Structure 1
Amino acid sequence: MAGFKRKVFYVGGFDPRGVRFYHALAVEQIARFAALTGRPAAVSTRRTISDHRTDWSIEDSSVGTTTDYSFLRWDDLVRDAWIRNPFTLAVRAWRAYSANLRHLDFATGKRLGKGPLVTLFYPPVLTLAFPILLALVIFAIAAIWLPATIALIVGLLLGIAIASPLLTRWHAPWLLRFFVFNSEFVSEVAQPRLEARLDAFADEIIASFAEDWDEILLLTHSNGSILAVPLMNRLLDRCADTLPPNFALVTMGHCIPLVACRRDATRFHDQLRRLANVDLRWVDIGSPPDGAAYFGVDPMAIVAPHTRPRLDLLSPRFHLFYDPATYHSGYANKYEIHFDYLRMGDRVSPLDFPSLMTASRPIDASIAAFREIA
């Protein structure tokens, strides 16, 4: 049996959890896939290639597939950008949201999807309103027995104390940091460490173009899809705008309009226009219930009336592959829905993460198989 050799470069989202978490997730999901299918799919141990790259292999000997998986690390930059001081977070969030109110094209953003706009603005509203509401309730009760000043202090302290763990559970502080990072990504002229990291990523990917792979995928998730825009421009610089035919960009849960809908993101707009004018295979997988992603949105169309890339905008249709009891539905599961792209359901889908990594066929064939059953 002729083997199928796949190379995957993965760029994750704004997540301080590093390679250990994502390797463990891959091991868990490939094991689930093996248990459901009876195929001997497995994940190797991690191999540190450099300070910004860790590799592992995903193999399925039953179909002769080997996927060499390179986790391109920027989690150290996320941890450096992870604002820990609540006062500093409040100040920088205020600046970020002030900039969004000044520069965000709300008409375009609303047309592309209301869900991400709600996700954009609920963290500051919730972070302010929920502690205040709790404080007022506690104050009203405490004022029955205590002087008003003391009751107010008790209300404020208890309101903050009760609200803080709940806000963390609802991921409001995480989202605030995420939006601060991307607002500063738009407005800052340069972030030298991030720029250097993207240069290094591009060098790693370009080196694979000269190697013997049946398929090369740049796979991004969430905020990694925003970084994919300047990263793809670097690849085009290095290969004179001609990508190899076995290369494809795969975005999962992309949130590119979060930056592209900012009127002041002129550099990012130019990068998107360049992508719109090259022959590029781009597959986007986005779930409609994912409030942090733009389902079915061509981000290049925001700035370019005509786009050349062969773009597929696909819903993974998770509801078809999960049992009702385990399907991540409803508001309480919005965070989990955003990570379902890296998991598999209770039944095998040609587009779930383990299936894409173990398939003995290119991604276009997996998409064709998905459309036949979904």
Structure 2
Amino acid sequence: MTVQARPVQRRKVFYIPGYDPFHPRRYRELYRKEGAAQAALSGYRIAQTKGAGPYSWNVEAEIDGAEVHTEMEVLVWSDIVSGSMDASIPATYAQLARTAWTYIASGALFRLMRLRKGPVIAALYPVIFLILQAIVAVAVGAGVAALGVWALERFVFGYGLFDGYWTARAAGLGAGLLAAWAVLRTFKRHDNKVFAYYLMHDYAFSARWRGANPPELERRMDAFGAGIAEAATAGWDEVLVVGHSSGAHLGVSILADLVRAGLPAGRVSFLSLGHVVPMVSFLPDANRLRRDLHVMGAQDVVPWVDVTAPGDGCAFALCDPVAVSGVAPEGHRWPLVISAAFTQTLRPETWAALRRRYFRLHFQYLCAFDALPGTPSDYDYFRITAGPERLAERFAGRSHSPSRLTLPANRYTSQAA
């Protein structure tokens, strides 16, 4: 497709979060804080003000001698996420069983291991952790039950006035069940430290529908697409769609719909960050997503750049989501797969502080890189979203990362009609 040379002066950015129940102001504040940090490091100016909508903000930047106005908007589906997480403890363990069965029985889990082990370990983490929590709860409950039976028989029914054998055991069992439940409740109350319930709900969200989108999410995606299509005709120099984590595969489907509907070329660009596409596209009923990946892989309407990093254990780093899903079309050209190269773009002391903070690293794409400028990477989230170059211009002539993985490991390659 033709790359326009005229600098961007006005840009509209639509940000699609991943499976995140938090209020979208979190992303506004993250952009404000990290944008200021990156500007100080890289020697440009960036300022942020409140936007017209409840989930938007304005960015005024002077980068490479050019002044650029950007309007950022979060496409909100956190209410759908929160609704899917509103499950009791027994319901969460039922989700665990259903999700594990879906990924194992379909063969998806074992095929995902052929790509990157990091995100597969991340998927197994909540299963193992929740099972361990259940074991601890059972052990505590059994101990309390045994202690209760002993205490009742020794101090209450031990004087031979009447037989309290079954009464002691019933009371002990009740105390044990209450203790086990208290342990499980305590674990859930402190899940913000370990994220076991959060991640379980995340993987269960896709597994419940075997890779298809629930109707409520499809309706929301239609609304997102309508907003993007309207912006594409509103005179912006660039409309940029950014999909992070699970938001990446939502972006694929939303933009594929627009491409099929006749979206004019050169109006919209797509940046996917830290994608987890195979976790969905490898499931049996992900026919819609596989069709959309196939469409987006060869179209000449929307330039698509995919950024991941081997240091992000929650993403399928440098895996071409179209190719590994087994649906690469003839003339496959998108996405351009590049690495954020955390070990090179972060100072050694910063990398040392973050390398074990796996969930924080999954958001590093949206943050400042303190080894820039002067590093091999040209990935800078704030230059991309607030600078004078379009996405296609910035990465024109750039080759895929040498470590790009294209192995078609998916068992299921059927596509929606």
Specify the TM-score bucket, using the shorter chain as the normaliser: 0.7 to 0.9
Which residue does 1:278 correspond to in 2?
299
Tell me the SS of whatever aligns to 1:88.
helix
Contact conserved, 1:229 with 1:272, CA < 8 A, in 2? yes
- Normalised by the length of structure 2, the TM-score is 0.77
**What is residue 324 of structure 1 aligned with on the other side?**
348
Match for residue 283 of structure 2 among 253, 257, 262? 262
Alpha-carbon shift at residue 117 of structure 1 (Å): 1.3
Matches within 5 A, 1:78-93: 78-93=81-96
Describe the SS at the equivalent of 2:351.
Answer: coil
The answer to whether the Cα contact below 8 Å between 1:287 and 1:316 also exists between their aligned partners in 2 is: yes
Q: How many Å separate the matches in 1 of 2:332 and 2:363?
A: 29
Residue aligning to 1:178: 202
1:65 aligns with 2:93: no
Alignment of 1:198 with 2:198, yes or no, is no
Asked if 1:208 corresponds to 2:209, the answer is no
Q: Is 1:312 equivalent to 2:341 in the alignment?
A: no
Alpha carbons of structure 1 residues 103 and 2: separation in structure 2 relative to 1, 3 Å: closer
Aligned counterparts of 2:278 and 2:77: Cα–Cα separation in 1: 21
Q: Distance in 2 between matches of 1:300 and 1:208?
A: 27
Correspondence for 1:352: 380
- In the alignment, residue 112 of structure 1 is paired with which amino acid? L
Seen in structure 2, the aligned counterparts of structure 1 residues 256 and 328 have a Cα distance that, compared at 3 Å, is farther
Q: CA deviation at 1:129?
A: 1.6
For 1:287, which of 306, 309, 334 is the aligned residue?
Answer: 309
Q: What residue number does 1:102 align with?
A: 105
Paired residue secondary structure (2:347): coil
Q: Equivalent residues in 2 for 1:105-116 (5 A)?
A: 105-116=108-119
CA distance in 1, matches of 2:392, 2:211: 37
Q: Contact 1:281/1:309 (CA < 8 Å) preserved in 2? A: no
Shift of 1:353: 2.0
Check 1:33–1:304 CA distance in 2 against 1; reply closer, same or farther (3 A cut): same
Structure 1 CA distance, aligned partners of 2:34 and 2:354?
Answer: 23
> Which residue of structure 1 aligns with residue 25 of structure 2?
20
Q: Does 16-25 or 37-46 show the bigger shift?
A: 37-46
The 3-state SS of whatever aligns with 1:64 is: strand
- The answer on whether the counterparts of 1:351 and 1:370 sit within 8 Å (CA) in structure 2 is no
Higher alpha-carbon deviation: 270-279 or 11-20: 270-279
CA distance in 2, matches of 1:185, 1:331: 33
Question: Which structure has the higher relative contact order (CA within 8 Å, separation 6+)?
Answer: 2
Gaps of 5+ in 2: 1-5, 152-168, 400-417
2:13 to 8, 11, 34: 8
Where does residue 56 of structure 2 map in the other structure?
55
Superposed CA deviations along residues 131-172 of structure 1, whole A, max 9, x for unmatched, are 525864897899899949869939846754664456541211
Q: Distance in 1 between matches of 2:19 and 2:110?
A: 26
CA distance in 1 between partners of 2:340 and 2:354 (Å)? 17
- Structure 2: which amino acid aligns with 1:278? Q
| Structure 1, unaligned runs of 5 or more | none
Comparing 356-365 with 284-293, greater Cα deviation is found at 356-365
Aligned partner of 2:165 in structure 1 is none
Contact 2:46 2:60 in 1 (8 A): yes
Instruction: Spell out, residue by residue over 1:99-135, the C-alpha distance to the aligned partner (whole angstroms, 9 max, x if none).
Output: 2222243443122211111111121111112452586
Task: Tell me how large the CA RMSD over aligned residues is.
Answer: 3.3
Partner of 1:42: 47
2:413 maps to which residue?
none
1:56-85 deviations in whole A, cap 9, x for unaligned? 221114521122212111112212222242
TM-score (structure 1 length as normaliser): 0.85
Match 2:318 to one of 271, 276, 296:
296
Mapped to 1, the partners of 2:326 and 2:43 lie a distance apart of 47
TM-fit CA distance, 1:3: 5.7
Using the TM superposition, name which of 308-317 and 161-170 deviates more: 161-170
Contact in 2 for aligned 1:323/1:346 (Cα 8 Å): yes
1:338 — aligned with what?
362
Q: Summarize deviations over 1:22-43 as a string: whole Å, max 9, x none.
A: 1111111122123334533111
CA contact (8 A) 2:343 2:351 kept: yes
* Alignment-mate amino acid for residue 265 of structure 2: P
Q: In the alignment, residue 58 of structure 2 is paired with which amino acid?
A: S
1:225 maps to what in 2?
A: 248
Q: Which deviations, in whole Å up to 9, do the C-alpha atoms of 1:253-279 show, x marking residues without a partner? A: 000100111133223322322223422
Letter in 2 for 1:345: F
- How far apart are the structure 2 equivalents of 1:334 and 1:194? 27
SS of equivalent residue, structure 2 residue 95: helix
In the aligned structure 1, how far is the partner of 2:198 from the partner of 2:119? Answer: 15
Aligned equivalents of 2:392, 2:244: Cα separation in 1: 19
